[in-house]
Amino acid sequence: MSKYVMRLVSPPSGTMVRIVVLDALVMLTASCETEPASAPSAAHPCLIAKGASEEKLLQRTLRSEQFQEQWFSTTEKLVQRLEKDIRQMKPGTSTVGRHLRHYIPEPPPGSDRLTIELSWTSPDASGRGIPSEHYAHYNINGVPVEATDIIVKSRVACRLPGDLEGPTEYALLRAVLASTLNIGRRGAEAQKQQGAFLYVMARRATDALGCQNKPLHGVPEVKPGKG
Structural contact between residues 170 and 121, judged by C-beta atoms closer than 8 angstroms: no
Q: What is the pLDDT of residue 65?
A: 86
Structural contact between residues 100 and 71, judged by C-beta atoms closer than 8 angstroms: yes
Region 22-44: mean pLDDT is 35
Min mean pLDDT across 11-20, 47-56, 58-67, 118-127 is at 11-20
* pLDDT(79) > 90: yes
Q: Give 154's pLDDT tier (boundaries 50, 70, 90).
A: very high
* pLDDT(211) > 60: yes
Greater pLDDT, 27 or 188: 188
Q: What is the pLDDT of residue 73?
A: 76
Region 196-200: mean pLDDT is 94
* Boundaries of every domain in the chain: 6-224
* pLDDT(10) > 50: no
* pLDDT(13) > 70: no
Q: In what order do the strands lie in the sheet with 98-105?
A: 6-8, 67-71, 98-105, 114-121, 172-179, 151-156, 143-147, 136-140, 222-224
